[in-house]
């Protein structure tokens, strides 16, 4: 999933200055799972903002809604009839949702309520960590299913480097060395021959280096 974290309320208040009718719009997908922008977080933020503005003596109307997703037309269309009532929409979806809203509704300012962080997993409730950087050409088949692009600080494709010590990365003793995990797992799998195989220079044009990316599937396209 896409992992995001809530923006500090002070920052949100700053971006909302001057708007008198605001819709806080949550998303039922990834940001609900990582507890940053689901229905619950929308309700908490809306309550806090209502109290803030009231305490400031400002009459600001704050309303709440949560869509199934903010990255698909059909769900974003659900607010078409009502969006013009608002001076601004504060989206608690990831940056994808914020932008899709902004592209769709040209006359309403769309503001982000979360900081979108990475694609990752829930290690345990309250702990999320990165697993994939969407490089566009997955090499997990050769690295025992562990991604050195997202989990090695140097993104080494043939690691580890000299900074790996006792299974930890030199950038931080809390960070496991991705290549140590890869080697341990290859060992477990009895596939150390994969480690001997040099991974060739990666074509980074399928990653961000090639500019904004797009996937087109003619077979499913309508």
Partner 1 sequence: MRLQYPSGIRIICLPCTGKVDLLHLLHCFEKGADGVYVVGCLEGACQFNTGNLRARKRVALAQEILEKIGLGGDRVQMYNLSSSEAPRFVQIAEEMTQKILKLGPNPIKLARRKMAA
Interface contacts to partner 1, rule CB under 8 A: 9-10, 40, 43-44, 47-52, 54-57, 59
Closest to ligand SF4 by CB, 68 or 203? 203
Q: DSSP letter string over 147-214?
A: -HHHHSTT--SS---TT-BTTEETTEEEEEPHHHHHHHHHHHHT-THHHHSPPPPP-GGGTGGG-S--
Residue 10, binding choice from partner 1, ligand SF4, none, Cβ under 5 to 8 Å by partner class: partner 1
Residue 135, binding choice from partner 1, ligand SF4, none, Cβ under 5 to 8 Å by partner class: ligand SF4
Closest to partner 1 by CB, 59 or 188? 59
Closest to partner 1 by CB, 56 or 187? 56
177 lines the binding site for ligand SF4 (CB under 6 A)? no
Closest to ligand SF4 by CB, 70 or 150? 150
From the list 63, 116, 69, 72, the residue with the least C-alpha distance to 90 is 63
207 contacts 136 by C-beta, under 8 angstroms = yes
33 lines the binding site for ligand SF4 (CB under 6 A)? no
Phi, psi at 211, each rounded to 5°: 85, 180
139 lines the binding site for ligand SF4 (CB under 6 A)? yes
Question: Which stretch of DSSP H or E encloses residue 45?
Answer: helix 39-55
From the list 80, 78, 83, 110, the residue with the least C-alpha distance to 97 is 110
What residues make contact with ligand SF4 under the rule CB under 6 A? Answer: 132-135, 138-140, 147, 149-150
């Amino acid at each position: 999933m896409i992992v995001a974290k809530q923006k500090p309320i002070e920052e949100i208040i700053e971006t909302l200055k001057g708007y008198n009718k605001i819709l806080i719009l949550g998303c039922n997908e990834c940001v609900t799972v990582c507890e940053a922008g689901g229905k619950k977080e929308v309700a908490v933020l809306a309550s806090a903002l209502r109290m803030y503005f009231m305490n400031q003596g400002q009459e600001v109307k704050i309303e709440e809604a949560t869509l199934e997703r903010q990255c698909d037309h059909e769900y974003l269309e659900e607010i078409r009839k009502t969006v013009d009532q608002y001076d601004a929409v504060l989206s608690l979806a990831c940056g994808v949702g914020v932008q899709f809203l902004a592209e769709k509704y040209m006359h309403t300012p769309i503001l982000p309520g979360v900081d979108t962080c990475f694609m990752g997993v829930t290690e345990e409730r309250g702990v999320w960590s990165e697993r994939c950087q969407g490089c566009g050409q997955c090499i997990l088949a050769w690295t025992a299913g562990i991604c050195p692009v997202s989990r090695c600080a140097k993104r080494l494709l043939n690691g580890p480097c000299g900074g790996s010590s006792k299974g930890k990365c030199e950038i931080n003793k809390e960070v496991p060395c991705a290549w140590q995990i890869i080697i341990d797992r290859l060992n477990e799998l009895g596939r150390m021959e994969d480690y001997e195989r040099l991974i060739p220079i990666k074509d980074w044009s399928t990653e961000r280096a090639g500019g904004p990316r797009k996937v087109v599937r003619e077979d499913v396209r309508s």
